[in-house]
Amino acid sequence: MKLFYSDASPYSRCVRLVIRHLGITGIDEVITNPLDNGEDLLEVNPLGKVPCLQLNDGSSLFDSEVILRYLDCEFGEGQLFGIREHNWIGESHFSLIKGLLDSADALRQEQMRQEEGKRSPFWTGRFEQALLRGLQHIEQTGLAMSRDLSIQQICLACLLEYIDFRHGELEWRKVAPALALWLSEFDRLPAMQATRPK
């Protein structure tokens, strides 16, 4: 198998972290800049987005949620997502974290537009407020405090570190101090260390 990924992508990092957590071998990780529209990536994902997992039979899986569910089902016996039909609250938490990843990524796009003098204060504020509200909600639910490692925790850790990596000015620790403490512990996992953007 071959994983096309970007080092700075929080979606790619979620997948790479799960690969390491589940001890999956035989996946060649290929660092890719999706903005280059490289032929290798476009052959397996016409959307030109990462992550993309090319299977041994030549077929490919995308987006990150599909890849994460595949890895958990095929290699993790469902330990990360759990039994879907019996965990609607967990599904909602997963959707919230995915939405926050989308907001963090969109905020990064706005930052890049600023370099061109086109940044929108409205959208910047909207994305920042969505991130702060969402993290405050997660803090209140106690989601991160579960002893059993879940896909929600993995994606949450990748989200928080992506915010620190790309949006250091966003003071999320003020609205979610318990999450900050949790992250300092979770960050010690070898898979977190191995997948940190450079």
Question: Would you say 15 and 71 are in contact if contact means Cβ atoms under 8 Å apart?
Answer: yes
Identity of residue 44: V
Contact 61, 50 (CB under 8 A): no
Cα dist from 178 to 76, 95, 105, 172, whole Å: 28, 21, 23, 11
pLDDT at 76: 94
pLDDT tens for residues 101-154? 999 999 999 988 876 778 888 999 999 999 999 999 899 988 888 888 899 999
Q: What are phi and psi of 151, to 5 degrees?
A: -65, -30
Instruction: Identify the band that residue 86 occupies on the pLDDT scale cut at 50, 70 and 90.
Output: low
Distance, in Å, from the CA atom of 34 to the CA atom of 108, rounded to the nearest integer, reads 15
Beta bridge partners of 61: 53
Which pTM was predicted? 0.84
Q: Any idea how long the chain is?
A: 198
Domains of the chain: 2-75 (3.40.30.10), 84-189 (1.20.1050.10)
What span, in angstroms and rounded, lies between the C-alpha atoms of 79 and 73?
Answer: 8
Question: Which residue type occupies 127?
Answer: F
Are the CB atoms for 84 and 48 separated by under 8 Å? Answer: no
Q: Is the peptide bond before 187 cis (omega within 30 degrees of 0)?
A: no
- Using CA atoms, how far apart are residues 90 and 138, in angstroms rounded to an integer? 12
Scan for tokens 């803090």, then name that residue. Answer: 139
- Per-residue model confidence (pLDDT) at position 88: 66
* Digit-coded pLDDT (tens) for 7-54: 999 999 999 999 999 999 999 999 999 989 899 999 999 889 999 999
Of 155, 166, 198, nearest to 183 by C-alpha is 155
* Contacting residues for 34 by C-beta, under 8 A, at least 6 apart: 6, 41, 48, 49, 50
Let me know the angle formed at the C-alpha of 43 by 154 and 198, rounded to the nearest 5 degrees.
40
Helix/strand/coil percentages in the chain, nearest 5: 60, 5, 30
